[in-house]
């Protein structure tokens, strides 16, 4: 079997186990994507039709990589297969799968194929309006907090009706319930779904409609779920419903990298897989192809203290590698200076800046790091500034969405005065209430002109390529004219709009209408990692959470201090074992991002929320045997730290 060449013994074992439930425990850097893609190729070579194979992962970046590798393997094999899109394996994220299922069955839940997807800011606005509508102050009842509760409930497969049965006399739950009712009404009015609905509604379609469930069970005979440790209850449910009686489900994951319990990820899904699918085969991938043995030994020592895990021990044939550098800084500014200096040294010796990552536990740590990078002249990029969330980009997308879905009131509200048309709040209220006969002649004319723009976009969408439609929208809406004569920042906004047209060219191969719909879908589902421009020569600054799934030659882990990393927010219990284990898993993730070398640092003093505090080194530092560490002396900055025994 030529297609199995290059796989190690355990990877081959995982590839050859094709029928029935399979659990692949893949340690960090153990080649799980290679294993999944070769497993898919093996299934096809064994006679399974490509279109009968489903593969789901979490991020767009991971799905894109997997899709490209699968298609490349198929093309390079000696198989004589068709190349049409519909006859390939279906590789996507969970949310994209949800969009696919909902679009194909939209009428069942009162939607059209062109339903809108609320992003976080749309949802926040709707929740804020709901609070006002029920007579509560959004300053007193934080919309983000209420939205998080609703989101977590939906992730737990709980809809509004089920939530209402558990409200009881708890005042805050009553508030959430009232807001949720108004929020759902706003979504229905706009023929829209929010991010969590993409999973909740698709699960409902599969569960409540046997014909729909049978359709997808018959479409996908073999299912692969990547990063299974990160699945929540609703994702678990979707996977189980599609797997059906065949139970040809292969899940790949690593308990030691479960770091998202705060957003609903349930570690029990992977721990209980063998109970949920009796007779399941388990394969453990322990050979690491990313890191040096020193890095892996440190990671193994860190994670072995956790109780909720499967036993495994990462190893590599790539050599021992350098020791981990440990730097005790005077304060956060000294720490940031050290990191910027070492980054500059590495770049000066020929390292690609994009192969250097600075990881931290809390977002506030980036300020000192950014300042130090600027002072040292090191190009850097903070992960998390989303292209699709820039105002000007959202404006163009809103025009196209509103044209295709006239009931998307949030999009209409966003753009009705961009460029300015002199349509005030009172007029907008009349329009949204259907009282068009009460508009003044001047306002009626403006409303008509606005609709004419949307009509023109719709007409073009039926025959234009996605990129040409974006270009047309920029010009026809007056956005180009508005920004062309503006200041430098307006020119930058116009460039960002034009960049959207460039990005849209990758959808130009699709049928007109479908291409623009896919662009709108991908824009709604974009994540932070999608914004990491791989070609940009810059050091990456990001939280450890954001680094999951990425790898770099050199990794700096900053702020290794008790109560910062491991992190404990105010009011949390120091005896909370689950929190402690997740923090330890998070540090394990940080360590295993590195290929060549790790630099760890902690400060003796750190200013947090305006208060200068004495910091205690993290327990994680002491869990790494001394032979793997090399301490670096601090440059004298005039500071002296005095420790007191308490």
Catalytically annotated residues: 32-33, 226-227, 257, 593
Residue with tokens 């991938």: 285
Considering only CA atoms, which of 464, 457, 475 is closest in space to residue 400? 457
d(CA 199, CA 264): 13
Residue with tokens 């992003």: 119
d(CA 275, CA 270): 10
3-class secondary structure, 579: helix
Q: Are 540 and 354 in contact (CB under 8 A)?
A: yes
Considering only CA atoms, which of 58, 63, 85, 59 is closest in space to residue 74? 85
d(CA 487, CA 283): 60
d(CA 531, CA 548): 14
3-class secondary structure, 289: coil
Residue with tokens 């049409």: 84
DSSP letter at 285 equals: E
Write the DSSP string, 217-230: HHH-SEEEESSGGG
d(CA 240, CA 242): 6
Q: Are 549 and 590 in contact (CB under 8 A)?
A: no
Q: In what order do the strands lie in the sheet with 380-382?
A: 380-382, 539-543, 356-360, 552-557, 594-603, 324-329, 629-632
Write the DSSP string, 64-118: HHHHHHHHHHHHHSS------GGGS-EEEEHHHHHHHHHHHTGGGGT--TT-EEE
3-class secondary structure, 319: coil
Give me the residues paired with residue 22 across strands.
250, 281
d(CA 593, CA 336): 20
How far, rounded to the nearest angstrom, does the alpha carbon of residue 634 sit from its chain's CA centroid?
Answer: 37
């Amino acid at each position: 079997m030529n297609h199995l060449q290059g796989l190690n013994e355990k990877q081959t074992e995982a590839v050859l186990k094709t029928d029935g439930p399979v659990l692949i425990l893949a340690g960090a850097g153990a080649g799980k994507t290679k294993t999944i893609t070769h497993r898919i190729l093996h299934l096809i070579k064994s006679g399974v039709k490509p279109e009968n194979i489903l593969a789901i992962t979490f991020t767009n970046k991971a799905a894109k990589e997997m899709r490209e590798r699968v298609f490349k393997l198929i093309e390079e094999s000696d198989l004589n297969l068709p190349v049409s899109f519909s006859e390939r394996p279906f590789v996507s994220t969970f949310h994209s799968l949800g969009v696919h299922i909902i679009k194909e069955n939209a009428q069942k839940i009162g939607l059209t194929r062109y339903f809108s997807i609320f992003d976080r800011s749309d949802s926040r606005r709707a929740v804020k309006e709901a609070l006002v509508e029920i007579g509560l102050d959004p300053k007193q009842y934080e919309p983000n907090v209420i939205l998080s509760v609703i989101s977590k409930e939906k992730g737990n497969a709980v809809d509004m009706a089920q939530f209402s049965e558990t409200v009881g006399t708890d005042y805050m739950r009553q508030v959430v319930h009232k807001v949720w009712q108004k929020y759902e009404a706003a979504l229905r009015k706009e023929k829209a779904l929010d991010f969590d609905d993409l999973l909740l509604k698709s699960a409902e379609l599969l569960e409540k409609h046997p014909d729909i469930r049978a359709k997808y069970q018959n479409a996908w005979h073999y299912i692969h779920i990547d990063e299974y440790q990160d699945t929540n209850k609703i994702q678990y449910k979707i996977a189980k419903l599609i797997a059906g009686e065949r139970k040809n489900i292969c899940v790949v994951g690593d308990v030691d990298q479960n770091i998202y319990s705060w957003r609903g990820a349930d570690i029990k899904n992977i721990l209980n897989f063998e109970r949920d699918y009796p007779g399941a085969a388990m394969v453990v991938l322990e050979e690491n192809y990313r890191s040096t043995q020193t890095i892996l030994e440190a990671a193994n020592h860190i994670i072995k203290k956790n109780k909720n895990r499967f036993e495994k021990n990462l190893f590599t044939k790539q050599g021992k590698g350098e020791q981990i550098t440990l730097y005790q800084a005077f304060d956060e500014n000294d720490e940031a200076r050290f990191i910027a200096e070492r980054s500059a040294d590495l770049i000066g010796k020929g390292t690609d800046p994009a192969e250097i990552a600075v990881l931290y536990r809390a977002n506030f740590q980036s300020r000192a790091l950014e300042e130090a990078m600027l002072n040292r002249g090191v190009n850097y990029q903070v992960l998390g500034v989303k292209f699709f969330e820039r105002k000007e980009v959202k404006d163009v997308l809103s025009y196209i969405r509103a044209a295709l879905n006239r009931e998307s009131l949030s999009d209409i509200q966003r753009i009705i005065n961009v460029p300015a048309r002199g349509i005030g709040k009172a007029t907008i209220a009349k329009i949204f209430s259907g009282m068009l006969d009460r508009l003044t002649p001047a306002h009626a004319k403006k409303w008509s002109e606005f609709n004419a723009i949307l009509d023109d976009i719709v007409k073009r969408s039926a025959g234009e390529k996605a990129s040409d439609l974006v270009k047309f929208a920029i010009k026809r809406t007056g956005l180009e004219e508005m920004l062309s004569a503006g200041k430098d920042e307006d020119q930058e906004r116009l460039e960002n709009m034009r960049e959207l047209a460039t990005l849209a060219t990758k959808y130009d191969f699709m049928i007109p209408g479908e291409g623009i719909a896919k662009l709108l879908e991908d824009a709604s589902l974009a994540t932070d990692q999608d914004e990491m421009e791989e070609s940009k020569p810059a050091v990456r600054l990001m939280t450890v959470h954001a680094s999951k799934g990425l790898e770099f030659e050199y990794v700096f882990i900053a702020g290794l201090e008790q109560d910062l990393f491991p992190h404990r927010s105010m009011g949390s219990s120091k005896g909370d074992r689950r929190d402690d284990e997740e923090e330890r898993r998070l540090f394990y993730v940080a360590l295993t991002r590195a290929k060549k070398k790790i630099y760890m640092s902690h400060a003796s003093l750190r200013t947090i929320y305006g208060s200068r505090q004495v910091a205690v080194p993290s327990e994680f530092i002491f869990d790494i045997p001394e032979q793997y560490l090399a301490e670096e002396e601090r440059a004298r900055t005039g500071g002296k730290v005095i420790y007191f025994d308490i």
